[in-house]
Amino acid sequence: MADAAGATAVVYIGLGANLNNPARQVEHAIGELAALPQSRLGAVSRLYRTAPLGPQDQPHFVNAAVRLDSALTPPALLEALQGIECAHGRVRDGRRWGPRTLDLDLLLHGDLNSRQPGLTLPHPEIHRRAFVLVPLLDIAPPTLLVPGQGVLAELLRRCGDDGIEPLAADTYGSGVPPRAALS
């Protein structure tokens, strides 16, 4: 879909949390994403328990992904995501890949392939991260082309899905349908 100002783009957002009841953090964030202006929640992945990438002296993460149809520009969307992170008490202590109450990454914005200060699209690490690819495959077609990286299903085949397990649906669920398209 087009990315011109005012046009609606299909946007994928990755969610991650490993502090202060991570599943609740993720579920609340999904509700907040659904309420963003000029945006409509299209689909929600299952929630996954994932082994930490980076420092190992931190809890496992809960990861998920959502699809939005949004007319917000990429910078406006990133600002909105950072606002939601702040509202969840996210503290940036400078530790790379350290624990966090909530991380929201702008994974894909239509077919944009761009690099600007503070915003790279697609998110540059998608192809290396099963905790991003597995939830994405719940809500995006396996043939989806990640600009500059390759086809979604092939990216997962190459990186493998070790350390990723779906959370049992009855351990979370405040109204977020598991892996369901909401449209």
Residues marked as catalytic: 90, 100, 103, 105
Which residues lie across from 64 on neighbouring strands? 15
16 binds, among ligand A4P, Mg ion, none (CB under 5 to 8 A by kind): ligand A4P
User: Measured from the CB atom, is 39 or 63 closer to ligand A4P?
Assistant: 63
Cα separation, 103 vs 112, in Å, equals: 21
Shortest Å distance, C-beta 105 to ligand A4P: 4
Cα separation, 174 vs 102, in Å, equals: 18
User: Measured from the CB atom, is 61 or 183 closer to ligand A4P?
Assistant: 61
Shortest Å distance, C-beta 126 to Mg ion: 12
Cα separation, 178 vs 183, in Å, equals: 14
Contacts of residue 66, defined as CB under 8 A and 6 or more positions apart, other chains included, come to 12, 13, 15, 30, 33, 41, 42, 43, 44, 45, 139
User: Measured from the CB atom, is 158 or 181 closer to ligand A4P?
Assistant: 158
Write the Ramachandran bin of 145: left for phi over 0, alpha for psi from -120 to 50, otherwise beta. Answer: beta
Our finding on whether 85 is near Mg ion (CB under 5 A) is no
Shortest Å distance, C-beta 6 to Mg ion: 27
Query: In the complex, which residues of this chain contact ligand A4P (CB under 6 A)?
Result: 16, 50-54, 61, 63, 78, 92, 97, 103, 105-106, 118-121, 123, 125, 131
Residues contributing to the site for Mg ion (CB under 5 A): 103, 105
